[in-house]
Structure 1
Amino acid sequence: MNAPLDRGATVVAAAALHADDVDRRGRFPAEAVQALKDSRLLSLMIPGELGGAGAPLADVAELCTMLGHQCASTAMVFAMHQIKVSSLVAHGMESEWHRDFMRRVCDGQLLLASATTEGGVGGNMRNSVCAFERDGDMFRVAKEGALISYGAQADAILVTARRAADAPASDQRMAVLTRGQYRLERSGEWDALGMRGTCSEGFTLSGEAPYAQILESEFADIASHSMLATAHLLWSSVWYGVASDALGRAQAFVRKEARKRFDGPTPGSLRLAEASTKLQLMRANIVEGLKRFERAKSEPDDLNSMSFAVTMNNIKIGSSELAIEIINHALLITGIAGYKNGTPYSVGRHMRDALSARVMISNDRILSNMSSLLLAQRIDARLGG
């Protein structure tokens, strides 16, 4: 195991110890996040020249899976933080302010949150009602109806808004606001079916900061070049961790039942075999997606291509559906022992957490966007290349 993942063992242990309490109380996984900070894993992807580990996305995805085995909320907080880091690394290296901020993230192990949603845009993060209003070297922003996961616990928030007050809704930029530069007024509670520890409450955010804290790239480029691909791959890695742990519990149940009989396979054996093919498909989908993203980073034409967008969207759609199917198989295998809480075979939390996968960027919205892309793209019939 490489060094960053080796350091992750302490975090995984903390996540496992507190997972049930985090879920039951719907509280932030403070112990596991503190372990992430103590292990200096919040700066995992930041280049070494700025104080980070310079780790590839594949290492981050592996740690998301390891955490997902134990506590999906902790894994998702870690994934969402790293998605924000990826945007800074991909689009902030030419800005001295953002380079210095990444050094601060490394030094202080700052936790980054995202304010890309907003009331009045129908859930479409590629449109904004609010705007960055410039006043000399400063800007102001006020964003209503923003769903900000762990917003109250974050050390900084990356906020999207229209470039200026007279800009169209789709002409967006992204800015970093650090604690002390923004105010949060809670407008909605987070009492959810699953992913309860992400504390994804609604807020009205208002803030003021130096104009240099706005990234120069258009948010459309940030989204398509780094943010959405990273999100789909890391979220999928979280869901893979959740699904594989559920199937591991089902496997343990089948083994226990097999020791009681000598007249052939147990009733759950065939379902276990069927679910294992789905898990392998899910893993292959994610691994190939990570490789494709790494190749595309050095080929701008590919990164901007319709085929790349379709591939990343398919990974998210496929993973979100397969995770639920796998966990459902685990529930059918384990029966009442899996349905009940507090048994070694319980998969209720797994199922509740995985159900979020379809609505984190709605599958229907993604499929609607993909339907237009597929009209202009030839179906690739090759196995390789």
Structure 2
Amino acid sequence: MTTRSAIKKSALLSRTAAIASEVAAVHAGDVDKRSRFPHETIDALRQAGLLSAAVPEAYGGAGAGMLELGAQCAALAQGCSSSGMVLAMHHIQVACMARHAQGSPFFERYMRESLVERQALVASITSENGTFGDTRSSICAVQIDGDRMSLEKDATTVSYGQHADAQLVTCRRTADAAASDQLLVLFDRDSYTLAQSGEWDTLGMRGTCSPGAKFSGHGSIEQIIPGSYADASAQTMVPYSHILWAALWSGIAADALGRAAAFVRAGARKNPGSVPPNAVQLARAQVELQAMRHNWESCAIEFDEMTAENDAAAREALNTMGWALRLNQLKIACSEMAPKLCHEALQIIGIMGYKNDSPFSVGRHYRDVLSAALMVSNGRIAAKNASMLLVFKDE
């Protein structure tokens, strides 16, 4: 029997796919060309109530698991890479609240009223000048005075910061705390300022609009997510990031190969009864795309199974070295496979894929997926893996 929850999740994916083709894909070229935020897509997601997909059903959201959220990001990325990335980043922040702030009256109210009713878009500020890309280290610290708090941070990048309704910010617990002793603090738009410190003129992912900025915020201490960022990072931030990013990269690659398939079919129609030479190359590329999809989907299914009960044992499993290696390997594999598949699509299509004014163009796709290896540097991740593999035994 089909459950109400299953119906909700099915509708979530079908509505997202419709927005991807009817809205995101229509504006993707202009978003890329003008390096502008994909307002049309985010507005459509908001109107359809899809920004609260990761909010638990208890608070009015869809209660979608990792597999559904990944499929949603992949579907949207087929229409517009930047839109898919914004949605993925938003889901990551929502998940941190949903999984680590339950029991907090402030955050439970925020999920119901802001995330579900208002469909607020949440961004994050995890980078900081002076930490050299290490998100598990902070220089800034929250300043607490009674029941009030304030925070200032000099960020290297603020993902779609000027277009968000709220920011989830990492910082040290106190001014004298260790750099790794961090917290997550939520700030609504009316409680902070962003002084942009650079431009966002990038090779790809131009619609994410993520220049650096100096952040200054204030509010109540109840806006601090209970517990430590160390737990939130290992149990939520990292798995949601690596799995949802891998899913959207597979979506970008799928659209690039979809254009290659359309080009091959067009050629085949000109010579009925024969198989174009580039059809074989397309067939091989589809094998790699399927492997990429299965990679992120298997991690998503495993995560959903591990967290189904949301108990202490499940949370502990997310802190294991074996799980950390699995996620890191997923990130490296998918971030390296996506550009390869876009390159193969370009080779299949040829000059028509190279031209920006062609319906078979894959230039935007190619440029967008080149960011994958840079979002949490593959070099940094490989170095961590190397250290863990010296002591880890896969039993």
TM-score w.r.t. structure 2 length?
0.94
Per the TM alignment, residue 263 of structure 1 is displaced from its structure 2 partner at its CA by 8.3
Match of 1:112 among 122, 133, 137: 122
Aligned mate of 1:30, from 33, 39, 59: 39
**What is the alpha-carbon distance in structure 2 between the residues aligned to residue 330 and residue 195 of structure 1?**
19
Tell me which of 36, 51, 57 is aligned to 2:60: 51
> C-alpha distance in 1, partners of 2:196/2:144?
25
Whichever residue aligns with residue 172 of structure 1, its letter is: Q
Q: Residue 52 of structure 1: SS of its match in structure 2?
A: coil
- What is the DSSP-based 3-state SS (H/G/I as helix, E as strand, rest coil) of the residue aligned with 1:288? helix
Bigger mean CA offset, 262-271 vs 299-308: 262-271
Contact 1:19-1:71 within 8 A present in 2 as well: yes
- The C-alpha deviation readout for 1:300-340, integer Å capped at 9, x for no partner, is 33211111111111111111111111111100010001000
Task: Point out where structure 2 has 5 or more consecutive residues left out of the alignment.
Answer: 1-8
Q: How many residue pairs are counted as aligned between the two chains? A: 380
8 Å CA contact retained: 1:313, 1:366: yes
**What SS does the aligned partner of 1:265 have?**
coil
Q: Quick check: 1:345 aligned with 2:360?
A: yes
Q: What is the rounded CA distance, in whole Å, between the counterparts of 2:200 and 2:76 in structure 1?
A: 22
Mark the CA change 1:100 to 1:17 in structure 2 (over 3 Å): closer, same or farther.
same
User: In 1, distance between residues paired with 2:269 and 2:14?
Assistant: 35
Aligned equivalent of 1:373:
388
Q: Which amino acid aligns with 1:372?
A: S
1:294 to 285, 294, 304: 304
Runs ≥4 residues deviating over 4 A = none
Q: 1:267-291: per-residue Cα shift (whole Å, max 9, x none)?
A: 3122112211110110110110101
Partner of 1:2: 10
**8 Å contact kept, 2:356–2:363:** yes
Is 1:328 aligned to residue 336 of structure 2?
Answer: no
Following superposition, the deviation at residue 379 of structure 1 comes to: 4.2
* TM-score normalised to structure 1 length: 0.96
Matches of 1:349 and 1:14, distance apart in 2: 17
Query: How far apart in 2 are the matches of 1:258 and 1:305?
Result: 51
Q: How does 1:26-175 map to 2 (within 5 A)?
A: 26-103=35-112, 104-175=114-185
Distance between the aligned counterparts of 1:59 and 1:77, measured in 2? 16
Whether contact under 8 Å (2:125, 2:155) holds in the other structure is: no
Residue 342 of structure 1: how far off its partner (Å):
2.0
CA distance in 2, matches of 1:53, 1:303: 23
Q: What's the C-alpha RMSD, in Å, of the aligned pairs?
A: 1.4
The secondary structure found in structure 2 opposite 1:328 is helix
1:271 is matched with which residue: 278, 281, 284? Answer: 281
Residue of structure 2 in register with 1:383 after alignment: none
* Structure 1 letter corresponding to 2:15: R
Matched, 1:214 2:224: yes
Structure 2: which amino acid aligns with 1:110?
A
CA deviations on 1:74-117 (whole Å, 9 max, x unpaired) are 11000100000110111011211111111121111000000010
What aligned pairs does 1:349-364 form with structure 2 within 5 A after superposition?
349-364=364-379
**Residues in 1 aligned to 2:394 and 2:211: alpha-carbon distance in whole angstroms:** 41
Tell me the SS of whatever aligns to 1:99: helix
- Structure 1 residue aligned with 2:322: 307
My pick for the range that moved more, 49-58 or 68-77, is 49-58
- Partner SS for 1:316: helix
Q: In the alignment, is the contact (CA less than 8 A) between 2:322 and 2:394 conserved in 1? A: no
In structure 1, the residue matched to 2:6 is none
Supply the distance in 2 between the matched residues of 1:361 and 1:69 (Cα, whole angstroms).
23
Q: How far did 1:10 drift?
A: 4.2
Q: Give the structure 1 partner of residue 252 of structure 2.
A: 242
Percent of aligned pairs with the same amino acid: 44
Partner in structure 2 of residue 229 of structure 1: 239
Q: Is the 8 A contact 1:116 1:146 kept in 2?
A: no
SS in structure 2 at match of 1:121: coil
* Aligned equivalent of 1:186, options 187, 192, 196: 196
Q: Measure how far apart 1:251 and its partner are.
A: 1.1
Q: Provide the rounded CA distance (Å) in 1 between the counterparts of 2:316 and 2:118.
A: 37
Q: Is the 8 A contact 2:66 2:301 kept in 1?
A: no
How far 1:262 moved relative to its partner? 6.2
1: CA distance, partners of 2:271 / 2:394? 49
Q: What's the offset of the Cα at 1:264? A: 5.0
Deviations 1:192-225 (A, max 9, x none): 1010000011100011111111111211110000
Greater shift, 163-172 or 4-13, is seen at 4-13
1:201 aligned to which of 188, 191, 211? 211
> Deviations along 1:47-83, whole A, 9 cap, x unmatched?
2221211122222111111111110001100010000
Q: Is the 8 A contact 2:136 2:230 kept in 1?
A: yes
